[in-house]
Chain A
Amino acid sequence: MIPIEFFLVLSAALFCVGIVGVITKTNGIVILMCIELMLNAANINFIAFASYLHDALGQIFVLMTISVAAAEVGVGIAILLHAYKSKKTTDVDDLTVLRW
């Protein structure tokens, strides 16, 4: 059996890639993708723990997370599209109407 550390390191790495992406990228769509990466990091954790604890609830949690993530992306793309219509860009650095 693969030791659980392998999964945890993988998920931690994925999480870090996601968080760095959210901080550094400026394209709204790419930021959404990075958030998905972070959610998937959590999913890997859930599945690894569920398998090692012999507990089905962790896997149920993953199913729930996947559906929530799908809903979030659905609404997210719609919102970005709406912003694109009014601003002609999906670059979040150009969103400068509201500040301070």
Chain B
Amino acid sequence: MSVIQEGIDALMPIMPQFILIIAALIVPAIGLKSGKASSIFTMAAAALAIAVTAYMMYDGYTDSFMDIFEFNDFTGLMTVLFLIVLILVSLISYSGSETRKHHGEYFALLIVATVGMIFVAGASNLIALFIGIELASISSYALVAFKKNDPASAEASVKYLIIGGLSTALSLYGISLLYGLTGSVAISDVAQYLAEGSFTWTYIVAVITVIAGFGFKIAMVPFHFWAPDVYEGAPTPVTTFLAIGSKKMGFIVFFKIFLMMFILAQVLGGIPEMQWLFAFLAAATMTLGNLIAISQTSIKRMLAYSSIAQAGYILIVLAVGSSYALEGGLFHMITHVFMKGGAFIVVAALCARGLSENISDYRGLAKRAPLVAFAMMLFLFSLAGIPPLAGFDSKFVLFSSAVTPDGTWIWLVAVAVINSAISLYYYARVVKAMYVDKGASTEKMRVPMPFAIAIAICAIATVAIGIYPGPIIELCESAVKAFLLM
């Protein structure tokens, strides 16, 4: 009895992942029988893992698993976030028209990718970080190719594979140099060294390759070219997963290495050069993303470019480099899951009903499916940052964190606000198509039940967080506190 107890105690910090891995091993067997059952099983496993995580967070549990994985409030919050993504995506995967076959493998890959992301969130060691990223990435390469008879899906997965492999190689080379410089693979040691470091050649090459490698993962300009192609070609549920899941993982890596470094360096006077670099990258990312989004005719591509722009907003955190900024960043990551996830789920739902991805096909949608059109409008306006929706609150916290007493980053806030205005233009174009323009058909349309549930969850979360952001902000605060102690 005591042996079992000891085993459970040792595994406790990785209990959510443990549950998910077991589920991933069982789900292919269920998938042979019925796709619906495997979808329900995946959601049940994720819900169980959420319950365990929530209980651990409520209990104030903090512990580390063999010095490679640490469970604290930050890890807990991110775990719950990734599991919500998993539930939303598996909810819409079964009844969609794009992922018809091989449900067992599909859900197993989805679960394994989520486990990788959770490992990244808690990694306190570069080896665990690297393995987590690769676990998530390699599973997503396969997921992108799941629309088996569509050449666009195959093309997207080849592009994703090559870009992903390149980014892995770049970041690994950077990590190897960091290991050589610090003699340690613990992230805290590396961040400490980077904070104190002088600009030697090795240091510069290491930092550049790491930024480039992980920049691909978050689709930061100039490493963003793959994102629109992959998002367009992949099955829409997988696109949702990449946009709201994988990207968050990339940001966590940036926070862990670079934000830690800036916060540690502030005691020694800061590293303004690096912060300016991130400020320029942030400005370029949001501006380019928004400008190219204007000219898109495919809604998936438009949302992909808007996703790049959102990444630019979150990059403000790294330019400012304060704990308040991180709070805003985490808050924006949480609201982004619901608003961008919701928008992609609406696209997937309409796809399942035979609507194409062209914005022109959305004409007159308000007459055909009033509730879905209304939800889409909520998501788009939330992404643009219109009060009282969630996107406004999180953008407000994020942008206001950049207004520091010395006023260094006021210009960045100005760029971000102008960009929000630009983004409103192309979001409003979709809303206009849905509400004002006359469509070719006025026939009523009902979206399948699972989609309706997922859309409702996202819409309720978008409005509820927007009106009553208090609890989420508190969660972010305690997560930031835990993050800084890591």
Contacts and interface: CB of A to CB of B under 8 A. Distances in A.
B158 A39 contact: no
Contacts of B183: 49, 53, 55
Contacts of B284: none
A24 interface: no
A43 B222 CA distance: 27
Interface residues of B, number: 40
B130 interface: yes
B127 A79 contact: no
Interface of A, helix, strand, loop or mixed by DSSP: helix
Contact of A45 (B149, B168, B180, B228): B180
Give the residue among A18, A43, A49, A85 with the most B Cβ atoms within 10 A: A49
A42 B173 contact: yes
A95 B155 contact: yes
Interface in A64-88: 64-65, 68, 71-72, 75-76, 78-80, 82-83, 85-87
A69 B11 CA distance: 28
Nearest to B170: A38
A65 B172 contact: yes
B430 interface: no
Contacts of A68: 130-131, 134, 138, 168
B294 to A, nearest CB: 12
A7 B395 CA distance: 48
Interface string A3-19: 00000000100010010
Interface in B270-324: none
A65 to B, nearest CB: 6
B145 interface: yes
Contacts of A100: 228
B53 interface: no
A51 to B, nearest CB: 11
Nearest to A18: B169
A98 B229 contact: yes
B165 A98 contact: no
Interface in B131-166: 131, 134, 138, 141-142, 145, 148-149, 151-152, 154-159, 161-162, 165-166
B393 interface: no
A11 B141 CA distance: 28
A95 B158 contact: yes
B229 A72 contact: no
B354 to A, nearest CB: 21
B131 to A, nearest CB: 6
B131 A64 contact: yes
A2 interface: no
Contact of A76 (B141, B169, B170, B233): B141
A-B pairs, top 8 by smallest CB distance, nearest first, are A38-B169, A45-B176, A49-B180, A35-B165, A42-B172, A98-B229, A83-B154, A95-B155
Interface of A: 11, 15, 18, 22, 28, 31-32, 35, 38-39, 41-43, 45-46, 48-49, 53, 55, 57-58, 60-61, 64-65, 68, 71-72, 75-76, 78-80, 82-83, 85-87, 92, 95, 97-100
27 contacts: A11-B176, A18-B169, A35-B166, A35-B168, A38-B166, A38-B169, A38-B170, A42-B175, A49-B176, A49-B179, A49-B180, A61-B127, A61-B185, A65-B130, A68-B130, A72-B134, A76-B141, A79-B154, A79-B161, A83-B154, A86-B154, A87-B151, A92-B158, A95-B158, A97-B155, A98-B228, A99-B229
Interface of B: 126-127, 130-131, 134, 138, 141-142, 145, 148-149, 151-152, 154-159, 161-162, 165-166, 168-170, 172-173, 175-177, 179-180, 183-185, 228-229, 232-233
Given A72-B138, A75-B141, A82-B157, 15 more contacts: A28-B158, A35-B168, A38-B173, A39-B172, A42-B172, A45-B177, A64-B130, A68-B130, A68-B134, A75-B142, A76-B141, A79-B145, A82-B154, A86-B151, A98-B156
